[in-house]
């Protein structure tokens, strides 16, 4: 290569860079530098370039029409949790002959909900974005069973628990009254579920009971009360819940010493003419 050709190559390179700079300036709006777009919850920035975040599934659990948290039925509602799920448009379930894509019901950055299709089978669902990107499969399998397997009654505490000491029993002495329920000791945050299919009567706060929920059991003359919940339940009065559906979490709100569920079993209307009975034999039978 001669000195003249080397000089020519360098000159051409300078011209190319200069032309590129002028082209970028021409694209900027008049009166200043272009204002960058804010990154959304489903994008990340790398060197000024906005690219979609990597969609990732961490779990799939059943929330409605469930046999258990990881066992659903056709028509059940499941919640997919993970990251960057605000981009998702479909949940893909394993099918008996092929994969089944269903539209989502709701979505946020961390979760989406979808309904299990009729011909879904056991397996590990995944999600797909509107642009066609697919996630990893769920780490754990979701089982699909017939609706006939949905239990009619389940235990209210979904985690480790014990019935505590004699002071937590029905009828135990209190200052000016007797204990009207049974205490179930469990860690704060442990999920609480409806024992039976029921209608929500009350979802309120009381200085002694803390956050509490009262359920009217469908087809019976009985009502159950859950007290000292960690926070206000998301259930509205009048709503129908199924056996195993989430009510709230174990807490110690109100006049409570230590994390526990205070559970009451009433024949007739709760605090309005009904009668509380000892719930321990019933709880032990579940």
Residue 154 scores a pLDDT above 60: yes
pLDDT tens string 208-255: 999 999 999 999 999 999 999 999 999 999 999 988 889 999 999 999
20 lies in some domain:
no
Provide the pLDDT for residue 219: 95
Look up the domain containing 200 and give its range.
Answer: 166-285
Q: Tell whether 15 is covered by a domain.
A: no
pLDDT digits (tens, 9 = 90+) for 106-145: 999 999 999 999 999 999 999 999 999 999 999 999 999 9
Question: Residue 40: pLDDT band by 50, 70, 90 thresholds?
Answer: very low
pLDDT band at 28 (very low <50, low <70, confident <90, very high): very low
**pLDDT for 29 beyond 60:** no
pLDDT of residue 125: 97
Q: Please report which confidence band the pLDDT of residue 69 belongs to, taking 50, 70 and 90 as the band edges.
A: confident
Contact 102, 93 (CB under 8 A): yes
Based on the fold, state whether residues 124 and 204 are members of the same structural domain.
Answer: no
The domain that holds 136 is classified in CATH as 2.60.40.10
- At residue 36, the pLDDT reads 42
**Domain end residue (candidates: 148, 174, 199):** 148
Among 120, 148, 176, the domain-final residue is 148
User: Comparing 90 with 19, which gets the higher pLDDT?
Assistant: 90
Using the predicted structure, report yes or no on whether residue 15 has a pLDDT greater than 90: no
CA distance 159 to 186: 8
Distance in angstroms (rounded) separating the CA atoms of residues 132 and 87: 10
Q: Residue 126 in contact with residue 142, Cβ under 8 Å?
A: no
Residues 184 and 216 in one domain: yes
Query: Same structural domain for residues 183 and 105?
Result: no
Q: What is the pLDDT of residue 237?
A: 97
Q: Is residue 7 part of a domain?
A: no
Lowest mean pLDDT among 61-65, 85-89, 153-157, 259-263: 61-65
In a domain, 185, yes or no: yes
Segment 155-214, tens digit of pLDDT = 999 999 999 888 889 988 777 788 999 999 999 999 999 999 999 999 999 999 999 999
Please report whether residue 27 resides in a domain. Answer: no
CATH number of the domain bearing residue 280:
2.70.70.10
From the list 139, 80, 90, 137, the residue with the least C-alpha distance to 110 is 80
**In the prediction, which pLDDT does 30 show?**
45
The chain-wide mean pLDDT, for the chain, equals 86
Measured between alpha carbons, how far is 224 from 195 in angstroms, rounded to an integer?
A: 9
131 and 202 share one domain: no
Mean of pLDDT values over 28-56: 53
Contact criterion met (CB below 8 Å) for 261 and 226: yes
User: What's the domain count of the chain?
Assistant: 2
Q: Is the pLDDT of residue 103 over 90?
A: yes
Residues 124 and 82 reside in one and the same domain: yes
Q: Is the pLDDT of residue 285 over 70?
A: yes
């Amino acid at each position: 290569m001669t000195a003249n050709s080397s000089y020519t190559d360098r000159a051409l390179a300078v011209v190319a860079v200069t032309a590129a700079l002028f082209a970028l300036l021409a694209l900027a709006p008049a009166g200043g530098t272009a204002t960058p777009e804010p990154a959304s919850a489903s994008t990340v920035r790398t060197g000024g370039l906005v690219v979609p975040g990597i969609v990732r599934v961490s779990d799939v659990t059943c929330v409605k029409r469930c046999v258990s948290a990881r066992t659903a039925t056709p028509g059940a509602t499941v919640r997919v949790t993970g990251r960057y799920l605000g981009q998702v448009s479909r949940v893909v379930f394993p099918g008996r002959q092929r994969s089944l894509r269903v539209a989502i019901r709701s979505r946020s950055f961390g979760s989406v909900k979808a309904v299990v299709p009729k011909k879904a089978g056991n397996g590990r669902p995944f999600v797909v974005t509107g642009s066609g990107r697919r996630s990893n499969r769920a780490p754990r399998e979701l089982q699909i069973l017939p609706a006939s397997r949905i239990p009619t009654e389940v235990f209210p505490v979904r985690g480790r628990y014990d019935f505590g000491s004699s002071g937590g029993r029905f009828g135990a002495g209190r200052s000016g009254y007797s204990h009207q329920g049974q205490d179930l000791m469990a860690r704060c945050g442990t999920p609480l579920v409806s024992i039976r299919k029921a209608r929500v009567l009350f979802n309120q706060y009381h200085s002694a009971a803390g956050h509490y929920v009262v359920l009217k059991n469908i087809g019976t003359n009985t009502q159950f009360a859950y007290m000292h919940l960690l926070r206000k339940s998301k259930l509205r009065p009048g709503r129908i819940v199924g056996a195993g559906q989430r009510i709230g979490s174990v807490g110690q709100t109100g006049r409570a010493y230590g994390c526990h569920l205070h559970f009451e079993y009433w024949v007739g209307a709760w605090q309005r003419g009904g009668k509380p009975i000892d719930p321990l034999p019933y709880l032990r039978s579940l």
